[in-house]
């Protein structure tokens, strides 16, 4: 029938955990269950190759609906990248207080700017262990879907083309069309809307 499996490519570590910045305790402990929105957000960074060079994607997911509520794309992996993704998430969710914001121990998440943003908005920092992908498994699962369903099928000639493609995947497809097993095979944004009306 001409069917061909899409194979995942070799994993590449992008986390810079070799730094002297303070790290936060792991408040999630691989427990990704929640009872409502804005209890636990998970964050991470991945990368995309283009004809213009690397493009880095930082993402924030709400574990309740598995919706991507914040994201940022930049040509450099800086503290600005993760701050912009978190800021988008806060705006979209109406600046809730007391949310556990979980990430790895990368230098961007340990940076003074990111930590100040958390403190100023009364979010609680949590960080998984170095080199343990299971401590942020929900985020790793999203990146796997993104890579297999989109990135590995494409060959981006420019960063702009990659930005448009990733925007469409997150905002048009993943959040509003793709069914997620963790929420009973419902659609993240539809699941969110149902809970708001309940």
CATH number, position 120:
3.30.420.10
Q: Which of 105, 47, 49, 95 is nearest to 70 (CA)?
A: 95
What does the pLDDT look like over 127-173, one tens digit per residue?
Answer: 998 778 899 999 999 999 999 999 999 999 999 999 999 999 999 99
E-only strand ranges, 113-166:
124-127
pLDDT above 90 covers a percentage of the chain that reads 82
C-alpha 167/C-alpha 154 separation (Å) is 14
Q: Is residue 10 part of a domain?
A: no
Residue 30 lies in a domain: no
**Cross-strand pairs, 59:** 44, 71
pLDDT at 12 over 70: no
**For the whole model, what pTM was predicted?**
0.89
- Domain of 92? 41-190
- Say if 148 falls within a structural domain: yes
Residue of 184, 188, 186 whose CA lies nearest to 169: 188
Flag whether 15 is in a domain: no
Band (11; pLDDT cuts 50, 70, 90): very low
Q: Is residue 3 part of a domain?
A: no
Please give the tally of structural domains in the chain.
Answer: 1
């Amino acid at each position: 029938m001409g069917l061909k499996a899409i194979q995942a490519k070799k994993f590449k570590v992008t986390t810079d955990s070799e730094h002297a910045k303070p790290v936060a305790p792991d408040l999630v402990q691989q427990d990704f269950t929640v009872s409502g929105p804005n209890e636990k957000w998970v964050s991470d960074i991945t990368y995309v190759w283009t004809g213009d060079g690397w493009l880095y994607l930082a993402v924030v997911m709400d574990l309740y609906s598995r919706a991507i509520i914040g994201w940022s794309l930049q040509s450099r992996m800086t503290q600005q990248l993760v701050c912009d993704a978190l800021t988008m998430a806060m705006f979209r969710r109406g600046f809730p207080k007391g949310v556990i914001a979980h990430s790895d121990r990368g230098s961007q998440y340990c940076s003074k700017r990111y930590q100040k943003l958390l403190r100023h908005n009364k979010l609680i920092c949590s960080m998984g262990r170095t080199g343990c992908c299971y401590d942020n498994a929900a985020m790793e699962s999203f990146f796997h879907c993104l890579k297999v369903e989109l990135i590995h099928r494409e060959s981006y000639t420019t960063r702009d083309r990659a930005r448009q493609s990733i925007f469409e995947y997150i905002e048009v497809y993943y959040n509003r069309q793709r069914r997620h097993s963790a929420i009973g095979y419902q659609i993240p944004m539809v699941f969110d809307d149902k809970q708001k009306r309940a």
